[in-house]
């Protein structure tokens, strides 16, 4: 039901107010969902307010939305004034109902609400405790970093001149952040910097700064007062449920300092790292972290922040150990001090004994030796001990990740998530923009490798701000995957034409997501056939994602009309078991190794085999070493895995016998519980 826009009692200026929306986001409207909400609100000319009881904020301001301190289950209303008010209310309310791109989760329980992750207790002598921000082990030497104090005059020139300085600094800061984003292949890091760019355009923050300029303050002084006021507002939010929002104050200070340095004409302190550095700081901003030389950095510790901070997210994406909230005594450690950083244990050993260092090096050597052994053979084919070839390909988002996959032994791309081109923007990408991205991935692979491009997979838990979908009581059972594409045929045709332009650069395959009926497959193939005929492209294979039980049950019928199957085990699990894989209470039970899910995979493989079609797996089970033997035993001949997992999965396959895996698979699909399956697979691995 579309939220109803009504004129509130006592409203002036023709304001309309939508129905109450119960917020489904477990962490409330923090930076990422707030940025998505703002991006949509800015498409409308109307002034838009977000209401919660007597509180209201500007819905076009990320800072104001975050400072509202929303919680899971809050009742929110959207109010708008202007020519397109009713349309704006419907769209913004619908995005709130869908969770603004965040997973729908129940409210945190009392156990999870009480505290942030508990710092480790330093039981060892000469160990400082903190919160694990990213796991891992490193032995290196301390490098201390302190941010410089930026001095600006309180008064300046004319208001016009100071406003011009502020505008120029904001523009240059946008360009600097955009350049940083280009250096991050990781989606999480890019999303953080995208939120920083949104902060630079925040209307409430800019209004406060401009008000200071008009009161004869210098641009630098007015800007510092404005961003510090907003940072302190977030950091002053009370309650454990606002821990995430309090940490976003550091993002505002990060953006603020960037602009302030430009206004002051100073170059911020650069973090010059020697080889083998363990960086220690009171605070590292996302910008600091994104610009670090990762070839020299082994890990870092900060005395501020926590496991939900953006710096912690970046550390995990970099694959380096990190601690947040570490004992402030770490700031007193001398430069060059030899330390052992144990991210998993949450400890910084600052006076390790020779035995401690030897033990750490042994653990690191064992891990590294296995990785090196796997990497040395990564370019070899994955062939079982009894001669069965299994293709190991990669799940990627872009050409950079495709090149990384090839370097690690990837034999192609089994899943190119095309939605990365459609995310975090105000309008759909053009055909030329899409084609350039698809061609770049194809060229990274070359004509001998397979490239499987999945058409746009949005809806349900993956909304797009410029494509508001109608409110659905059960969005996971509504317009998702190929259904969205069929509902938006012009956008679908544009994408198909763009994909076809990559033909010839690699062995091109097109895959449709969330196919549930033969009618959906036929409708999608008809649109593709029309574009193939119009462009004259040939030799394109067409496949489907097996993600719902109906597709598995009708696998033989689908195999008559599709060239291949790729099983999305994440969605197949939640649809087979009727359990949301993001649900805090059910997620552990939504296990892809449940016998019912394995039987769905078996049915898919059997149906495909009857018509000589191949089956791959591109869900998380493909990268799970415990699951690999049963998958190939059921008939899977392609595993599309996360890029870093390629060497290890190929090495595992070379140690397996297909005959033994087939016997194992037939055994475990007769079990009744996941526990039985996992116990048997663990015994098989031993």
Please name which of 304, 302, 219 lies closest in space to residue 265, comparing C-alpha atoms. Answer: 219
Catalytic, 661? Answer no
Supply the DSSP symbol for 11: -
Q: For residue 316, give every residue at least 6 positions away whose Cβ sits within 8 Å of its Cβ, in sequence order, or none.
A: 133, 134, 188, 322
Q: Which residue among the candidates 310, 350, 509, 594 is catalytic per the annotation?
A: 310
Catalytic residue among 100, 132, 605, 618: 618
Placement of tokens 């496949």 in the chain = 543
Q: How many CA atoms lie within 13 A of 124 on its CB side?
A: 17
Nearest to 229 by CA among 204, 259, 247: 204
Number of H helices, E strands in the chain: 26, 22
Please name the residues in contact with 452: beta carbons below 8 A apart, sequence gap of 6 or more: 393, 412, 413, 414, 415, 416, 509, 510, 511, 543, 566, 616, 640
Please check whether residue 378 is in contact with residue 647, taking contact to mean a CB–CB distance below 8 angstroms. Answer: yes
**Is 365 exposed, middle or buried (CB count within 10 Å of its CB: 0-12, 13-18, 19+)?**
exposed
Q: Which residue's structure tokens are 């069965």?
A: 388
Question: Does 618 qualify as catalytic in the annotation?
Answer: yes
Residue 142: closest CA among 332, 10, 15: 332
Q: What is the DSSP letter of 380?
A: S
Tokens at 400, concatenated: 């950079």
- Rounded Cα–Cα distance for residues 569 and 45 (Å): 43
Q: Please name the residue ranges forming H helices in 200-308.
A: 203-214, 219-235, 243-247, 249-264, 286-290
Residues pairing with 381 in the sheet: none
Could you give the CA distance from residue 38 to residue 47 in angstroms, rounded to a whole number? 12
The two tokens of residue 165 are: 């300085």
With 0-12 / 13-18 / 19 or more C-beta atoms within 10 angstroms meaning exposed / middle / buried, residue 606 is middle
Phi-psi group of 10: left, alpha or beta (phi > 0 → left; psi -120 to 50 → alpha; rest → beta) = left
Cα 337 to Cα 350: distance, rounded to the nearest angstrom: 7
Burial of 605 (0-12, 13-18, 19+ CB in 10 A): buried
- What is the number of other CB atoms lying within 10 angstroms of the CB of residue 255? 28
Strand partners, 80: 16, 48
Report how far residue 674's alpha carbon sits from residue 680's, in angstroms, rounded to the nearest whole number.
Answer: 10
Asked if 619 and 570 count as a contact pair (C-beta separation under 8 A), the reply is yes
Q: Catalytic residue positions? A: 310, 618
């Amino acid at each position: 039901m579309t939220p109803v826009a009504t004129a509130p009692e006592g409203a002036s200026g023709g304001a309309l107010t939508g129905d109450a929306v119960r917020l489904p986001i477990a962490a409330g409207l923090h930076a990422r969902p707030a940025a998505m909400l703002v991006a949509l609100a800015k498409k409308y000319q109307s002034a838009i307010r977000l209401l919660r009881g007597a509180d209201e904020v500007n819905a076009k301001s990320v800072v104001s939305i975050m400072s509202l301190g929303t919680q899971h289950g809050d009742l929110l209303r959207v109010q708008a004034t202007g020519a397109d008010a009713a349309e704006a209310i419907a769209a913004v309310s619908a995005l709130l109902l869908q969770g603004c791109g965040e997973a729908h989760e129940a409210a945190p329980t009392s156990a999870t609400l009480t505290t942030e992750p508990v710092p480790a207790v330093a039981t060892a002598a000469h160990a400082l405790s903190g919160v694990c921000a990213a796991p891992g082990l490193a032995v290196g030497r301390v490098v201390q970093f302190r941010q410089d104090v930026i001095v600006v005059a309180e008064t300046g020139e004319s208001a016009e001149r100071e406003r011009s300085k502020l505008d120029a600094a904001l523009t240059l800061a946008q360009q600097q952040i955009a350049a940083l984003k280009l250096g991050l292949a990781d989606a999480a890091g890019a999303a953080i910097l995208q939120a920083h760019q949104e902060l630079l355009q925040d209307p409430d923050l800019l209004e406060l700064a401009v008000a200071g300029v008009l009161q004869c303050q210098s641009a630098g002084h007015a800007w510092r007062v404005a961003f510090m006021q907003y940072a302190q507002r977030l950091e002053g939010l009370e309650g454990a449920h606002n821990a995430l929002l309090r940490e976003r104050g550091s993002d505002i200070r990060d953006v603020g300092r960037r602009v302030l340095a430009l206004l002051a004409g100073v170059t911020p302190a650069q973090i010059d790292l020697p080889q083998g550095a363990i960086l220690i700081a009171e605070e590292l901003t996302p910008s600091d972290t994104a610009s670090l030389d990762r070839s020299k950095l082994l890990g870092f510790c900060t005395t501020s922040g926590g496991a939900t901070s953006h710096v912690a997210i970046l550390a995990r994406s970099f694959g380096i150990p990190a601690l947040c909230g570490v004992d402030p005594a770490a700031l007193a450690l001398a430069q060059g001090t030899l330390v052992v950083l144990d991210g998993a244990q949450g400890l910084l050993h600052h006076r390790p004994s020779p035995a401690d260092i030897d033990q750490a090096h042994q653990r690191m050597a064992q891990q590294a030796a296995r990785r090196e052994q796997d990497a040395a053979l990564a370019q070899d084919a994955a062939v079982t001990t009894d001669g069965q070839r299994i293709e190991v390909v990669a799940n990627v988002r872009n050409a950079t990740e495709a090149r990384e996959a090839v370097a690690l032994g990837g034999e192609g791309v089994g899943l190119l998530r095309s939605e990365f081109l459609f995310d975090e923007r105000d309008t759909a990408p053009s055909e030329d923009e899409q084609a350039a991205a698809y061609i770049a991935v194809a060229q990274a692979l070359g004509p001998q490798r397979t490239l499987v491009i999945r058409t746009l997979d949005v809806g349900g838990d993956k909304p797009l701000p410029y494509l508001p979908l109608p409110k659905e009581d059960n969005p996971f059972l509504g317009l998702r995957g190929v259904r969205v594409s069929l509902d938006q045929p012009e956008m679908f045709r544009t994408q198909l034409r763009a994909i076809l332009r990559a033909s010839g650069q690699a062995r091109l395959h097109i895959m449709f997501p969330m196919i549930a009926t033969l009618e959906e497959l036929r409708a999608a193939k008809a649109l593709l056939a029309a574009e193939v005929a119009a462009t004259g492209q040939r030799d394109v294979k067409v496949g489907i994602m097996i993600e719902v039980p109906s597709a598995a049950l009708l696998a033989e019928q689908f195999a008559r009309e599709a060239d291949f199957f790729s099983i999305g085990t994440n969605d197949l699990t939640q649809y087979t078991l009727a359990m949301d894989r993001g649900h805090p209470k059910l997620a552990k039970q939504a296990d892809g190794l449940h016998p019912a899910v394995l039987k769905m995979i078996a049915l898919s493989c059997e149906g495909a085999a009857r018509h000589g079609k191949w089956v791959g797996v591109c869900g998380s089970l493909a990268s799970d070493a415990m699951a690999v033997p049963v998958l190939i035993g059921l008939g899977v001949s392609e595993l599309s895995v996360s890029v870093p997992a390629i060497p290890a999965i190929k090495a595992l396959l070379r140690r397996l016998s297909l005959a033994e895996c087939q016997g194992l698979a037939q055994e475990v699909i007769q079990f009744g519980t996941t526990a039985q399956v996992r116990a048997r697979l663990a015994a098989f691995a031993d």
